[in-house]
Structure 1
Amino acid sequence: MATTGGPETIRDTSLTGLMDRIEVILDAVTIEGPLTLTEIVVLTEMPKTTVHRLLVQMVRYRWLTRIGNNYELGVRLFELGTEARQGHWFHRLVRPHLEELRARTRLLVHLAFLDGESVIWWERLGDVPPGHVPTVVGSRTAAHLTASGKVLLSVEDDAFLDRTFGEHLQVSTARTCRTRNELAVQVRAARNSGLAFDHGENVHDVGCIAAPIVVRQQLSSTGRRIAVSVSVCGPLDRIQKDRQLQRDVFTCVTGVQRDLSRNPVATDY
């Protein structure tokens, strides 16, 4: 894992250089788990004195915790992560609608957002017996494998698809789209209908229906509109045959959009 900062001889003391190095250390500990100073130095390829100085400060601010000779993620990150998930104004607004969708369908309900080529799962309610969907809140899945990813891509323009995905998609199965052009066909269909589907592409015999919600019309710092997806997952045969599920998803989305129109935070509605 190479550092994103410049050579040590440059003495890059800018805030950008500092944040880049902290990000590299956090990535190492997040991916690998508890690490010693020496292991972090090897993984980040930064000088030992620089890593040690940063680790002392990160422990001070509770971004990391030191146990013996190992460093692991600290309590402050858990606090921030919990607040970002459960304390966010939109999560508080949408959660009752997700619970109602779960009660109405008795299926697994997801809330997700797009990050590059992946979707990140913001909320998960229920399960899909007897099958198993390996999604965890905070984890990510390749967007083209999921209904949520396809419908979120439909909110973006075609240029975003071209910039983000290579000509051949890295993860594919016999059921999934294998090229960017195949994905574009499904994204355009989702854009036209307002729904996207997963026909056992991510998990065998489990299907999914997803619809998008544009949370804020104003562009974010990424240059894109903030959007999320609401989806239901269940046995593939039911997803394909039960048309009521599509109406249930639309009902959920409509309810959320109604509440958004009354929410003072969403000032651009």
Structure 2
Amino acid sequence: MNQSVIKALRLLQYFSLETPKLSLADIARYSGLTKPTAYRLLKSLEEEGFLTRNDHNPDDKDYMLGLRLFELGNIVAEGMELRKIALPYMERLRNEMNEVVHLVILDRKEAVYVERVETDQPVKLFTRIGLRTPLYAGSAPRLLLAFMKESEREQILNEMKIAPFTESTVKSIDELRSLLDDIKANGYSVSYGEFVPGTLGMSVPIKNHTATVIASLTVVIPGDNFSEEKKSEMISQLQFIANEISRKCGYCL
């Protein structure tokens, strides 16, 4: 592997919604590189359009992500057939339930939110398209972990370190294993306030033509006072829509 290319690409990972601008000193500190090395890599990324700087303001020379990444991101988004298939069904589910609907996939041992359909309710959630979360917290990440191949799941569990987001976040690997067993047995996943207190998350699997779980269809609802009957009704709605999406992906029920 070309180590210079790898080092340069890793610098892009330090940018986020919380830190959209970074100085040379910031990037050198985060990466552990010397300033001359970091500058050389940043300059190459800037020349190719992956980074940009505001040269019109001498007081603001921070780096920002460039439009080339926006272009490439759109190509990736357009190429995600699952996302295009699922979106109209997600909108239908949103219209029926008037709740936020997510599509979540597995990527590099993390859950990634690749689509989100909003509601007109004033609900403040932490999620956004492109968000990555660990696999132990939340109904969607846990569902993806539960339906992985056993050998892959065990490898992840053996390497996993749990850091709680709220008081409701799972506390131990043993507790997590028990939840994963329940998810596989029941065919759905439920979580209570694991990222945002006072919210209920419900997730069901989407499968492809090989019956492999390729995504989670998820609804997040404000409040935590739901009867078992009401939750059962909503999960049935979710499963019906997820089955429709799965059929479009080649799965034969």
TM range (shorter): 0.7 to 0.9
- The AA in structure 1 aligned to 2:241 is C
Match for 1:22 among 3, 8, 30?
8
Q: Is the 8 A contact 2:50 2:66 kept in 1?
A: yes
RMSD: 2.8
Which aligned runs of 4 or more in structure 1 are off by greater than 6 angstroms? none
Q: d(CA) in 2 for partners of 1:130 and 1:75? A: 32
Q: Is the 8 A contact 1:146 1:202 kept in 2?
A: yes
Q: d(CA) in 2 for partners of 1:231 and 1:183? A: 19
| 2:233 alignment partner in structure 1 | 244
Q: d(CA) in 1 for partners of 2:160 and 2:137? A: 16
- Counterpart check, 1:73 vs 2:65: yes
Identity %: 22
For 1:101-180, what aligned pairs fall within 5 Å after superposition? 101-115=93-107, 118-127=110-119, 129=121, 131-165=123-157, 169-171=162-164, 173-180=166-173
TM-score of the superposition, structure 1-length normalised?
A: 0.78
Q: d(CA) in 2 for partners of 1:85 and 1:238? A: 35
The structural deviation recorded for 1:215 is 4.1
Q: d(CA) in 2 for partners of 1:239 and 1:78? A: 44
Q: Is the 8 A contact 2:49 2:68 kept in 1?
A: yes
User: What are the Cα deviations for residues 137-193 of structure 1, in whole angstroms up to 9, with x where unaligned?
Assistant: 112333322110111111113443443245762216443321111111111111122
Match for 2:21 among 25, 34, 42?
34
| 1:60 alignment partner in structure 2 | 47
TM-score of the superposition, structure 2-length normalised?
A: 0.83
Q: d(CA) in 1 for partners of 2:192 and 2:31? A: 40
For 1:77-96, what aligned pairs fall within 5 Å after superposition? 77-96=69-88
The structural deviation recorded for 1:216 is 6.8
> In the superposition, relative to structure 1, how do residues 33 and 188 fare at CA in structure 2: closer, same or farther (>3 Å)?
same
- The AA in structure 2 aligned to 1:145 is A
- The AA in structure 2 aligned to 1:33 is P
> In the superposition, relative to structure 1, how do residues 239 and 21 fare at CA in structure 2: closer, same or farther (>3 Å)?
farther
Deviates more, 1:111-120 or 1:101-110: 111-120
User: What are the Cα deviations for residues 57-98 of structure 1, in whole angstroms up to 9, with x where unaligned?
Assistant: 211211101223321111111222233235422211111111
Match for 2:175 among 172, 175, 182?
182
Q: d(CA) in 2 for partners of 1:87 and 1:116? A: 19
- The AA in structure 2 aligned to 1:35 is L
Structure 2 alignment gaps of length 5 or more: 56-60
Structure 1 alignment gaps of length 5 or more: 1-14, 219-224, 263-269
User: What are the Cα deviations for residues 24-75 of structure 1, in whole angstroms up to 9, with x where unaligned?
Assistant: 3112344743233344333323244433332222112111012233211111
> In the superposition, relative to structure 1, how do residues 182 and 116 fare at CA in structure 2: closer, same or farther (>3 Å)?
farther
